[in-house]
Amino acid sequence: MELQDRNPSQEHDLGDRNESAVVQDKIEQDKPPASGPPSGWDPASFPDGGREAWLVVVGSFLALFCTFGLLNCVGVFLQYYVEGPLSNYGESAVSWITSAQIFFMNGTAIFWGRLYDNYGPRWLLIIGTITYVFGLMMVSLSTEYYQFFLAQAVVAGCGSGIVFNAALSPIVTWFLKKRATAFGIVASGSSVGGVVLPIMMDRLTRQIGFPWAMRATAFMILGLCIISCLTVKSRLPPRPVKNPDYIKPFREPAMLLAMIAGFFFYWGMFLPFNYITLQASKAGMSPSLVPYLLSIINAVSIIGRIVPGFLADKFGRYNSMIVITAASGIVTLALWIPGKSTAAIVVYGVLFGLTSGGFVSLLPACIAQLSQVHEIGIRTGTAFFVSGLGALTGSPIGGAIVGQMHGDYLGLQIFCGVTMLIATAFYTASRFAQAGFTSSKV
């Protein structure tokens, strides 16, 4: 009887309430869960392969070929400047150009990381490519110290930093179990660039002069970066960060120790790339072989960047990083210091390429291990900023040491090896902060 007595207006109200309940249920279903990883961040959702993921790897490989690959032949620039247009400046003064270029590429990642988190990689890659190529073109027109510094260090350095950061960060969204392997393949692009570009630059400079050699290199980089712009993308949509916490990584013991370790390793890592050609020339190496030294180091480091990534996924990223940094320091102190002959210098270059190559591939993987995926841009940028400070000051300090020792490279070599061993100590401390003294995979 109650149903029969219900008037039409009551039935209408009941229908409205039922409809509202359905809508509310739909809203509740669409809400993200109160706990647990957001959509796309769950470990099971990472593809760890597939056509799209590997295309991203190819694009990132080419981006590192163009950016970090050019940094791997800074010794060619240093030698050309010291012997050519900037011969009235000392090695330490000239090395500020290449050191500042390394810093602006790595250190400015703290800004590009935030833009990556907010907008994704596509527009960053486009803007970075234009800026980078413009800077290299301006290098070809430079004749004075300040012109080389502004064009190569500031403009090209910032442009390459945008491309480098935008191409590296998306790897984290596609790979989890094979992350270090993917980073190793991508990082090997810098080694391939370090093989091709020094020989290319040397040959072109001899045949058509430095200005046109730079223009040819810039056009090649433009073509390769266009491919990167078309293939590199993030699997997850950007999540704008209004008030990024740049201080948070410094409050986490494991992350802080890892960043300090990166600073010390970068402090010494670029010294062989910058000075081994000058040291080899002074030691009496054939002028026809000297330009190939950097290519030898980088050719070997292709293996040194891929294999450690594979081993790191199997045995632990920090475990592998400790071995790599320790081996780099030991090889430098044990072989580079006593090595005076051509054979000894080449052997050191080969072993240094093998040991140090893994550092470049494992550094972003180690950062990612201590980071949430949605914070990867900011945290990677912060870590590379700290490392970039080491790169900025390392080579000028090395050049000043050589100057104080009247052209002797012993002090520089000791500084290089010791800083790498200090980095090993801090990576060991970071591992301890994560897992103690256990023999687990870290």
pLDDT digits (tens, 9 = 90+) for 356-397: 888 988 888 898 888 877 777 788 888 989 998 998 888 889
CA dist list (Å): 299 to 189, 269, 302: 11, 17, 6
The Cβ of residue 154 has, within 10 Å, a number of other Cβ atoms equal to: 17
pLDDT band at residue 5 under the 50/70/90 scheme: very low
Instruction: Check whether 72 has a pLDDT greater than 90.
Output: no
The whole-angstrom separation of Cα 82 and Cα 147 is 15
Residue with more model confidence, 199 or 439: 199
The pTM assigned to this predicted structure is 0.78
The Cβ of residue 380 has, within 10 Å, a number of other Cβ atoms equal to: 26
42 phi and psi angles, rounded to 5 deg: -65, 135
- pLDDT of the residue at 244: 64
Q: In the numeric block, which tokens belong to residue 352?
A: 């240094």
Instruction: Check whether 229 has a pLDDT greater than 70.
Output: yes
Complete domains list, the chain, with CATH: 48-435 (1.20.1250.20)
Q: In the numeric block, which tokens belong to residue 11?
A: 């039935």
8 A C-beta contact, residue 77 and residue 152: yes
The Cβ of residue 287 has, within 10 Å, a number of other Cβ atoms equal to: 8
The Cβ of residue 37 has, within 10 Å, a number of other Cβ atoms equal to: 15
Closest CA to 180 of 58, 48, 60: 48
Largest CA distance in the chain: 111
Instruction: Check whether 20 has a pLDDT greater than 50.
Output: no
Query: Coil, helix or strand for 68?
Result: helix
8 A C-beta contact, residue 297 and residue 353: yes
- pLDDT of the residue at 438: 79
- pLDDT of the residue at 44: 65
The Cβ of residue 405 has, within 10 Å, a number of other Cβ atoms equal to: 12
8 A C-beta contact, residue 201 and residue 217: yes
pLDDT band at residue 216 under the 50/70/90 scheme: very high
Q: In the numeric block, which tokens belong to residue 360?
A: 């470049």
User: What is the rounded average pLDDT of the residues 306-325?
Assistant: 89
Instruction: Please provide the average confidence, as pLDDT, over all residues in the chain.
Output: 84
Q: Residue 245 carries which DSSP code?
A: -
